[in-house]
């Protein structure tokens, strides 16, 4: 599809075609009803949009009569240049699915850019595997093991504030783990492979377990009332319910002092986890600043 062809379309048409591409690239399929629901158009108009996209981008989508949907074509090449932030916002929050373009901000603002972004083709393979509930063959690079070949069963994306991970069952280690998406290479969807019951997300104890955390202004920091204002605390505390699989990431991102005796020093530690025992059994609690397991505390006494 050339820029001239896109220019001949109306903005609503381009937005709908961009939505078609997002759905097919990152979910793996799109149905006419998806367009009807998203844009409030008639079925006939949705059919015309799908036919137009197929005409303007040959090889990008194929019709699957069995599933009655359009699926990713073998020669797919993206027409729209979506920034990674837009794609991740759409995948995780459900917005930003119009044609990528520079929009005039209503107010001046500035936010720091991420240092790393996942490769969109790799991300698309991961999200298609999640949506289609099928295993994914990957080449994975880790600091401890180097390059390894793995089969994973992914089911969710996790943003730890610095990098994007995918939560998945790892057939090599036979346990649920987080994989950094930027370290994944050569992903291949294993559509004909079955997912076993023990590999599904409802068997991931760290994912299904919800921990309740109470954070208060750090006892050794001045002006606790300012911290209460900054974090919107109610009666001097901030209560959160988190998946155990994400707790360590969030506590590290927010620089929460998780030591039992609020012993961490530094202006960044404005919050203190009131009950460190709430993290007992949370595997990634080791990421939380100052956290020591009850067993470690006993050994130090």
Mean pLDDT by 10 residues, the chain (301 residues): 74 94 95 95 96 94 94 93 89 79 63 80 97 97 94 96 94 97 97 96 98 97 96 96 96 96 95 96 96 68 43
What residue has token string 């063959």?
137
Predicted local confidence at residue 102, as pLDDT: 60
Predicted local confidence at residue 297, as pLDDT: 55
d(C-alpha 54, C-alpha 70), whole Å: 10
Predicted local confidence at residue 107, as pLDDT: 73
Yes or no: say if 288 and 273 are a contact pair by the CB < 8 Å rule. yes
Neighbours of 270 (CB within 10 A): 20
pTM, whole model, 2 decimals? 0.87
Domains defined for the chain, CATH in brackets: 2-81 (1.10.10.10), 120-200 (2.30.30), 209-295 (no CATH)
Q: Sign of the C-alpha dihedral, residues 216, 257, 279, 231? A: positive
Does an H or E element contain 101, and which? none
Between the alpha carbon of residue 301 and those of residues 86, 258, 294, 295, 298, the distances in Å are: 51, 18, 11, 10, 5
């Amino acid at each position: 599809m050339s820029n001239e062809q896109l220019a001949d379309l109306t903005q609503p048409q381009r937005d709908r075609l961009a939505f078609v591409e997002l759905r097919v690239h990152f979910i793996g399929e799109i149905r006419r009803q998806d367009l009807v629901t998203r844009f409030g158009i008639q079925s006939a108009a949705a059919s015309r949009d799908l036919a137009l996209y197929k005409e303007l981008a040959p090889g990008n989508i194929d019709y699957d009569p069995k599933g009655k949907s359009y699926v990713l074509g073998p020669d797919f090449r993206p027409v729209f240049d979506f920034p990674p932030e837009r794609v991740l916002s759409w995948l995780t929050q459900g917005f930003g699915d119009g044609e990528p373009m520079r929009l005039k901000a209503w107010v001046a603002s500035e936010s720091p850019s991420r240092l790393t972004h996942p490769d969109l083709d790799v991300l698309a393979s991961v999200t298609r595997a999640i949506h289609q509930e099928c295993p994914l063959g990957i080449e994975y690079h880790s600091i401890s093991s180097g390059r390894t070949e793995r089969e994973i069963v992914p089911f969710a994306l996790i943003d730890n504030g610095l990098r994007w991970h995918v939560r998945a069952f790892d057939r090599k280690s036979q346990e649920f783990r987080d994989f950094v998406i930027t370290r994944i290479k050569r992903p291949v969807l294993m559509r004909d492979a079955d997912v076993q019951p023990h590999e599904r997300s409802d068997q991931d104890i760290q994912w299904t377990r919800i921990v309740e955390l109470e954070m208060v202004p750090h006892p050794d920091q001045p002006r606790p009332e300012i911290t209460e204002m900054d974090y919107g605390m109610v009666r001097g505390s901030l209560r959160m319910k988190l998946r155990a699989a994400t707790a360590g990431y969030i506590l590290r991102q927010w620089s929460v002092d998780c030591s039992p005796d609020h012993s961490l020093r530094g202006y960044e530690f404005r919050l203190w986890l009131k009950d460190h025992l709430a993290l007992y059994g949370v595997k990634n609690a080791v990421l939380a600043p100052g956290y020591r397991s009850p067993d470690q505390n006993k050994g130090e006494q």
